[in-house]
Amino acid sequence: MSGLGPGDVRDRPERWTVTEESTAFEGHVFDVRRDRVEMPRGDGVEIVGRDVIVHPGSVGVLALDDRERVLLLRQYRHPVARLLWEAPAGLRDVAGEPPHKLAERELLEEAGYRAERWDTLVDVFPSSGMSDERVRIFLARGLTEVPADQIDFERVHEEADMPVVWVPLDEAVRKVLAGEVHNMVAATGILAAHAARASGYGGLRPVDAPED
């Protein structure tokens, strides 16, 4: 037995020694860094190679209306060759922009809504075995639709035609568990919102909570 209990279950920062690093690939959105890492092995250490996708991070928005319906939009995703139902989301590609301000912008630009109430819903590392990407998912409530002519944003490429559908939260949970919704932000946000609702949304962190 490890000697650890439930009270010890909390992710914490740690950085093992990197003896060498180099850039294996430079892309438009992410780079790939190649590290040589000292990893414990018995009484000594072992030098192991690890490729790391260096990602700017992103945010997602679980928008919930006053009828407890979730806003989902459909977008083509080429890497998985599917049309996926997703929550609004976007890259942290503006230096210095607070995550919740990016979330506000993405909800407006992708779905055409503003929200009166914002909370931090959940933080995730979606692919921690290969990428440093961090995603913060916000819960947005008190929604107001914004007329299209008041939105200064042009959707192009995959975003050019994204239909929006409102799904009751309980039905959205069923769809996630049935394997009908695969997008990480949508699935995580839906399940987290369902859990938060069970406690009256009392345990949510503020919109500007620090990213530990």
pLDDT, tens only, 14-51? 999 999 999 999 998 899 999 999 998 888 889 999 99
Residues contacting residue 130 through CB under 8 Å, at least 6 positions apart: 51, 52, 53
Residues 193, 79, 60: CA angle, nearest 5 degrees = 25
Instruction: Determine whether 145 is an active site residue.
Output: no
Lowest mean pLDDT of 39-43, 65-69, 71-75, 83-87, name the range: 39-43
Rounded CA separation 171/157 (Å)? 30
CA 58 from centroid of its chain's CA atoms: 6
Both tokens assigned to 210: 């620090």
| Tokens 């919930």 belong to residue | 64
Q: Are 138 and 59 in contact (CB under 8 A)?
A: yes
Please check the confidence at residue 151 and state whether its pLDDT lies above 90. Answer: no
- Segment 102-129, tens digit of pLDDT: 999 999 999 999 999 999 999 999 999 9
Report the pLDDT value the prediction gives residue 16, as an integer from 0 to 100.
92
d(CA 56, CA 89): 13
Sorted by where each begins, the domain ranges of the chain are: 15-54, 58-206
Of 106, 159, 180, 211, the catalytic one is 159
- For 58-206, CATH gives 3.90.79.10
What pTM did the predictor assign? 0.90
